[in-house]
Amino acid sequence: CGLTDAFEGEGFDRTDMLLPQEQLSLYEEIAKRTKHILVVNISGSPVDLSFAQNARSILQLYLAGQASASACAYLISGKANPSGHLAETWPCLSNLAPSTFISKEKNILYTEGPLVGYRYYETKKLPVQFEFGFGLSYTSFELSDFAVIQKNEKIMVTVQIKNTGSLYGAQVVQVYVKNPQVALYERSAIELVAFDKVYLEPGEEKKLVLVLDEHVFCVFSSKKNSFAKVAGTYTLACGFSVRDLRCKKEIAVEGEALENLVESESERLQELKRLQVQTTKTLLTSSDSMQRLSKYSFFARTLLRFMELYIVVSSKSKKKEDPAVKVALQAIRENPVESLISTSGGAISPSLVQRLVAHANKKRYLKKGHFFSII
């Protein structure tokens, strides 16, 4: 199963996480006849796999490229042992994914702060399909003798890993730091700080030494404009995913109080809203999109509609649902208007772009009761 070009591609968003209905219906029919089901999913991003929870196994290939069919055959037949781990979180529902838009304006301010990707899901303690770092193997592994060593400013962790199964395989050992939380200040609850991949024969074991980055216990201080170490009691944890941690050690760190280094969450959001207001009050430029200019200018709206129509009728399919058409439509709507000078093949000149921007600014400021003249 997986997503076809009509459902997934570069340059346009998906409306949900569902697989095509015909694939879901096919799975239901197969499940009525047998319980021995292996799901192989091919997609470039997370999909809803809740329908396959009764499957014997699920193999995620992503967009594997050349020779992926033979690689898949080796994996499902047992000739090769899977050892990949997810580099992203697979949410249960698309509405649980972090969304940070705070305005109806078409320009974007990045307001997520430190809670990006898995940090968001773990800090907010949200249910997920598959967590960051998750991955299975046909063999099994165990960790032991986890230790934290401090030498001057350097911190190292050591851990013993053993292949306790009957097959040759590989495992990714992951080290995370759990940060102390301070009321009113938003900081990621947990962060990946080191990892290593090790290949072991059945019964073989190996000692791993992982050196941690000097910024492990730091935040970027907006007040100092530099990284600074935050004082507190941290937990270093080792395991096979962000939610499968087998060994833990606490460590006391000297540094500065978090409240002396960064603004509180309420202060940060107030500043972002101020920037949003400031952005909406500034003059439009050729770096703004046609979509934004169209909000104020009939001239820009008319030109945008003409270009959208031209893209559809000049395509082979003549359908808006065509992936290639979707990409082209998204590009002319959201790219900077100045990019039309090159992508239009000379049909849109620099002077026309300047007139578009000037007209949009004039209509915008007249609407707000300001005087504005086109120079």
Q: 252 - beta bridge partners? A: 233
Burial class (CB in 10 A: 0-12, 13-18, 19+), 184: exposed
Half-sphere exposure of 366 (CA within 13 A, CB side): 10
Instruction: Quote the pLDDT of residue 275.
Output: 67
Query: With bands split at pLDDT 50, 70 and 90, how would you rate the model's confidence at 16?
Result: confident
For position 101, what pLDDT does the model report?
59
Indicate whether 56 pLDDT > 60: yes
- Where does the chain hold its CATH 2.60.40.10 domain(s)? 83-260
- Average confidence (pLDDT) over 23-45: 95
Average pLDDT of the chain to the nearest whole number: 88
10 Å CB burial of residue 22 (0-12, 13-18, 19+) is exposed
Tell me the C-alpha distance between 367 and 318, whole Å: 37
User: What pLDDT is recorded for position 102?
Assistant: 53
pTM for the model stands at 0.82
pLDDT value at residue 316: 84
pLDDT of residue 154: 84
**Least confident among 49-63, 81-95, 108-122, 304-318:** 108-122
- Local confidence band at 296 (pLDDT 50, 70, 90 cut-offs): confident
pLDDT in tens, 190-239: 999 999 999 999 999 999 999 998 889 998 888 888 999 999 999 999 99
Q: What is the pLDDT of residue 107?
A: 60
Per residue in 250-282, pLDDT (tens digit) is 999 999 998 888 887 777 777 777 766 666 667
Per the model's pLDDT, the better-predicted residue between 281 and 178 turns out to be: 178
Q: What is the pLDDT of residue 28?
A: 95
Per residue in 129-168, pLDDT (tens digit) is: 999 999 999 999 999 999 999 887 789 999 999 999 999 9
Identify the bridge partners of residue 227 per DSSP, sorted by sequence position.
220
pLDDT at 176 > cutoff 50: yes
pLDDT of 319 reads 84
Check pLDDT > 70 for residue 367.
no
Contact by Cβ (8 Å): 136, 199: no
Mean pLDDT of 102-107: 59
Residue type, 19: L
Residue 27 in contact with residue 21, Cβ under 8 Å?
Answer: no
Confidence of residue 105 (pLDDT cuts 50, 70, 90): low
What length does the chain have? Answer: 375
Closest by Cα among 265, 259, 261, 258 to 234: 258
pLDDT score, position 325: 87
Per-residue pLDDT for 171 more than 70?
A: yes
DSSP 64-121: --TTHHHHHHHHHHTSS------SS-EESSGGGS------SSSS-----TT--THHHH
Q: Name the superfamily (CATH) of residues 1-80.
A: Glycoside hydrolase family 3 C-terminal domain (3.40.50.1700)
Q: Which CATH number fits domain 83-260: 2.60.200.20, 2.60.40.10, 3.40.50.300, 1.10.274.10?
A: 2.60.40.10
Q: What is the reported pLDDT for 370?
A: 47
